[in-house]
Structure 1
Amino acid sequence: MIKAKTSQKVRFAETDAMGVVYHANYLPWCECARLALIEGVGLDYAEMSARGFHLPVVEAHVKYRRPAKFGDTVEIESAIVERPGVKIKIEYRITANSVLLAEAQTVHVFVNSEGLPVKPPREYADVLLKAFDENP
């Protein structure tokens, strides 16, 4: 398993008329956590993209438990819990003050610059698999 943790202070612009974080704004937090996860194992997403390889979201799911509010500091834990391959599934737990606010999951597929699914380049696969295997 590969894990990372990030935090984010809820901005006023992320809230809606009810004074809680608008539901779609949880996904950008997941994106920040995902980038921290990828960079945490030693991969450079910008370099990967410049080489013509991308990891677009092909599936996303969020289960909301409690609302986040303006001024809260949310912590986003991200984890790759299944052995990564062409497809990478990432799970997220979003909390504030140790209270679970939401659980999310995204699925990503390696694609080339034409948007076609491809096997991950060996150097990326090796880094991901090594990190996964070293952190049971």
Structure 2
Amino acid sequence: MLITETDIEVRYAETDQMGVVHHSNYIIWCELGRTNLIKKLGFDYSDLEKEGILSPVININLDYKAPAHYGETVRLLTWIDHYDGLRVVYGYEIRNEDNKLCATGKSSHVCVRKDSFRPISIKKHLPIWHDEYEKHKKKD
């Protein structure tokens, strides 16, 4: 199972007046982690889009454990938690500089045709992606 690490410097704009990261920013950070993971696998979302394929989020769930603060650098771990040829579930773990767990979560995605928004089989239409996802997904 491949786990990527993405370091993120907490920006002032991501925090409230107490210097605590607003919960909505964790979702943006998860996107950074997914993009990093996909690049480590040798792919790029923009290549999918050139082929008329999008990969929307169909579900996201985050559990907040402890706050991250302005001035910290958090570490985001990302992995393929589940993959079945059609749906991809990414897993996330965010820790602060003291290695304290700030958040955990998962997001689910499918690939769709841009013109119709109809789901497609990754296994059938993106066989190279499929092979890499099978190779690097979390083993049950």
Name the TM-score, length of structure 2 as normaliser.
0.88
User: Aligned equivalents of 1:21 and 1:83: distance in 2?
Assistant: 31
**Matching residue within 116, 123, 126 for 2:131:** 126
Q: CA deviation at 1:29?
A: 0.6
User: Aligned equivalents of 1:16 and 1:84: distance in 2?
Assistant: 39
Q: CA deviation at 1:84?
A: 4.2
SS at match of 1:110: strand
Structure 2: tracts of 5 or more residues without a match: none
Is the 8 Å Cα contact of residues 80 and 136 (structure 2) preserved in structure 1? Answer: no
User: Aligned equivalents of 1:105 and 1:130: distance in 2?
Assistant: 19
Structure 1: tracts of 5 or more residues without a match: none
- Can you list the C-alpha shifts for 1:57-115, whole angstroms capped at 9, x where unaligned? 11011100110110010000001122342100011000012110000110011111121
Q: Aligned letter for 2:75?
A: E
- Count of residues paired in the alignment: 135
Percent of counterpart pairs with the same letter?
33
Look up the match of 2:18. Answer: 18
Name the TM-score, length of structure 1 as normaliser.
0.91
- Taking only aligned residues, the RMSD between alpha carbons, in angstroms, comes to 1.8
Look up the match of 1:104. Answer: 105
Per mean C-alpha deviation after superposition, the further-off stretch among 62-71 and 16-25 is 16-25
User: Aligned equivalents of 2:84 and 2:76: distance in 1?
Assistant: 20
Q: Aligned letter for 2:121?
A: K
Is the 8 Å Cα contact of residues 6 and 33 (structure 2) preserved in structure 1? Answer: yes
Higher strand proportion: 2
Per mean C-alpha deviation after superposition, the further-off stretch among 74-83 and 5-14 is 74-83
Aligned positions of 1:1-136 closer than 5 A: 1-97=1-97, 98-113=99-114, 114-120=116-122, 121=125, 122-132=127-137
